[in-house]
Chain A
Amino acid sequence: MDLRMQEKAMMTSRSTQSQSFLTSRVGPALLLAIALAAVTGCGKKTAPINPASTAPTVTAPVPAPTASLTADPLAIDLGGSVVLNWRTTDSTSVAIDGIGPVNVNGTQTVSPSSSTNFHLVAKGDGGTVEANVRVTVRVPVAPTVPVEAANSNTSADMGSEEVFHQNVPDMYFDYDSASLRPDGEAAAVKAASYLVAHPDIRIVIGGYCDDRGSAEYNLALGENRANAAKTALVNAGVAPARIRVVSYGKEKQFCTDETEACWQQNRRAQFSLDR
């Protein structure tokens, strides 16, 4: 309610000084509107005037109406609002498509859901004039579905498991260490380039440890390993929001022999698709 009253007050105060406003403020939209008004106004005005019939009662010719329509801002995000502001002179009725009849001068806040051409028609004794303004609405673009994904019925937009594992290999760690080895750094570069090229893929990094040592400390160590892998990917340009981290500690083993070869298998950061 308050807002509407304010709006009205603003309207009246502005209509009194509309003349000076028109002359002093020259925006691109305004120039266009004036030009439009001039063209259409001339065409309509010339037709009804008969020099012979009007000659005896020469008064000031009825001026053609002018109209301007501006929007601020001209572009919004979806859900945002925009203020329409229109000024007319010598008009008797003004209407905006989609809004209906409006005052001759005024403002209105609108919230279009898609890009819209606001079209104002002002009618006066001197003719009819139009004004336009286009409000662009930026709608978030839905991720485009690749062709092969559209053809399959599952969430195959992440690509196949085999291709994923070829390009995003698991990383292995030294004993009691959560630092990436040189082979891990190389794997991270390869994985990051694949993930950057396939932005629809979300991944889970599982942190694993060999079965020596304490269960609880190994959970922390697995977490640190998975986070080291995540950090390497993030530094290489993969958005952190695409990566989830789960530490399995020594609770899930890839093999159970008490040999260094087997322990090495178990000390890893494993990548999988987060479907």
Chain B
Amino acid sequence: MVLFAPSAGGGQDTIFTGTNSGASTVRIAVADFKVLGSDPQSAALRSTFDATLYADLATAGIFDIVSKSLMPPGTPGTPSEIQLPNYANAPASAAFVGFGSLNVTGGKLIVNGYLFDAKNLQYPQILAKQYSDEPSEDSARQIAHQFADEIILRLGGGTPGIAETKIYYSQASGGNKEIYVMDYDGADGHAITHLGTISISPRVSPDNTRVAFASLGKNGFQIRMWSLVLGRMVNFNSFGDLNQSPAWSPDGRELAYSSTRSGTPSIWISDSNGTLARRVTSFKGGDVSPVYNPRTGAQMAFISGRTGLPQLYTMNSDGSGVQPMTDGGYVSSPSWSPNGQVLAFAWDRKYGPGAPGGQDIYVMEVATHKWQQLTHDGGRCDFPSWSPDGRHIVYANSSDGRANHTRIWTMLADGTQQRPLTGPGADMPNWSWK
């Protein structure tokens, strides 16, 4: 029943989450980009670009970024203008330098970006890219994300960066909840549904074409499907009083969810239109929140109340080989890491009436059941969701436990660098697959 060979981190004290996979932390400097030309928009676009690029690299989890105060003076715009020893020597002591120029000309925003190896004076160039887009704040941010992902891909052990990924979530407004999407760094949050009801549990398809979620209608919560390509609802067949907590299979062909069509809430799997539904669990008490192993698609984790308080279980995707992963407290909202080795979930280990338990985010290595607590004393945490590079976890946190004070936070998968991405009312984040 052990599905995984012991991971490379099996001998470590803490769980090997992949945060430091591929490369040890490298020290990188990012110079402010040089403004070329005289267009009045340039200065504002440059500061947006610089701030976005700096934040992308600083939060990537693989860099030790040179703080602005330690940077050498000057804004080199081209390879001929940069003095690499200034960056390689103390106090910057950078191994790599990112720099370039930004220009608004002919109604276009042109960005030239370079990544140089500060220690290799003979052949320093690693990367040279040119980007061209509409001159707007949004495109300045998107270009910075693209350039950051290029740098992370090359210096991060070949794992693609996540600066262009999205986070889907449920946003409360006026008694209703709509499905929203934002950039991975919290920018540009906006509604994608306007259904005027309570819509929760968004899950984006692996190919970023559809969002499945649960929405309250006359017959209770039902699975609904939004096409990001068509910009409208598309059909999804559900039967029974309650269908909720959808999860995409990694090939995008199937959807697992909790359905009551057979009476008690059980895990069902159908195709992505809701047809050919089949039941995979059959226990009293209620099974919810399935999630596929994104690496194989052959296993699933889910939450079940079959023994009392809800606990975490894994099983094969055909319903066989059910294994309990926890045996106490109150567990919710599993998310399976992209490398298939670690589960993240919310756990209140001392749950009960009057108990001083806190609901926090935990990770557990699937093969060993070894777990580690990632959040501490920060209020109620729920809905962890892994970034596609496995280095980050986004989650919901309410510092005082009140539902309407819930914000979306992000952290590295080892629990460090926790910071909020949204204001209150945002809940149930789901990180896109790519």
A interface residues, Cβ below 8 angstroms from B: 175-176, 211, 213-217, 219-221, 223-224, 226-227, 244-253, 256, 258, 260
Q: How far is the CA of A249 from the CA of B241 in the complex (A)?
A: 13
The minimal Cβ–Cβ distance linking A212 to chain B, given in whole angstroms, is 8
Contact A216-B303, Cβ < 8 Å, known A211-B403, A224-B286: yes
Residues of A within 8 A of B216 (CB): 248, 251
Q: How far is the CA of A228 from the CA of B434 in the complex (A)?
A: 43
Q: How far is the CA of A224 from the CA of B265 in the complex (A)?
A: 8
Cβ–Cβ contact A214 & B286, under 8 A: no
Which among B51-59, B184-192, B256-264 touches the partner chain?
Answer: B256-264
Cβ–Cβ contact A221 & B286, under 8 A: yes
Q: How far is the CA of A38 from the CA of B94 in the complex (A)?
A: 125
Residues of B within 8 A of A256 (CB): 402
Give the contact-size bracket for chain B.
Answer: 35 or more
Cβ–Cβ contact A220 & B242, under 8 A: yes
> A220's contact among B177, B265, B330, B353, by CB below 8 Å, is which?
B265
Residues of A within 8 A of B403 (CB): 211, 250, 253
Interface residues of B in 245-297 (CB under 8 A from A): 245, 258, 260, 263-265, 285-289
Q: How far is the CA of A20 from the CA of B214 in the complex (A)?
A: 74
Cβ–Cβ contact A219 & B330, under 8 A: no
- Secondary structure at the A interface, as helix, strand, loop or mixed, is mixed
Cβ–Cβ contact B220 & A214, under 8 A: no
Residues of B within 8 A of A176 (CB): 305, 308-309
Known: A214-B333, A223-B260, A224-B264. 15 other contacts (CB 8 A): A176-B308, A213-B332, A213-B348, A214-B303, A214-B346, A215-B201, A216-B288, A220-B242, A220-B288, A223-B265, A224-B265, A227-B263, A247-B221, A251-B216, A253-B403
The minimal Cβ–Cβ distance linking A224 to chain B, given in whole angstroms, is 6
Cβ–Cβ contact A247 & B241, under 8 A: yes
> Can you list 9 A-B contacts with CB-CB less than 8 angstroms, sorted by A residue number?
A211-B403, A213-B351, A214-B332, A216-B200, A217-B289, A217-B305, A219-B242, A220-B242, A224-B286
Cβ–Cβ contact B332 & A216, under 8 A: yes
Residues of A within 8 A of B219 (CB): 244, 246
Residues of A within 8 A of B264 (CB): 224
Q: How far is the CA of A216 from the CA of B219 in the complex (A)?
A: 17
Residues of A within 8 A of B220 (CB): 223, 245-247
- B296-329 CB mask vs A (1 if < 8 Å, else 0) is 0000000101001110000000000000000000
> Does any Cβ of A come within 8 Å of B9's Cβ?
no
Q: How far is the CA of A196 from the CA of B216 in the complex (A)?
A: 30
Cβ–Cβ contact B244 & A216, under 8 A: yes
Cβ–Cβ contact A220 & B286, under 8 A: yes
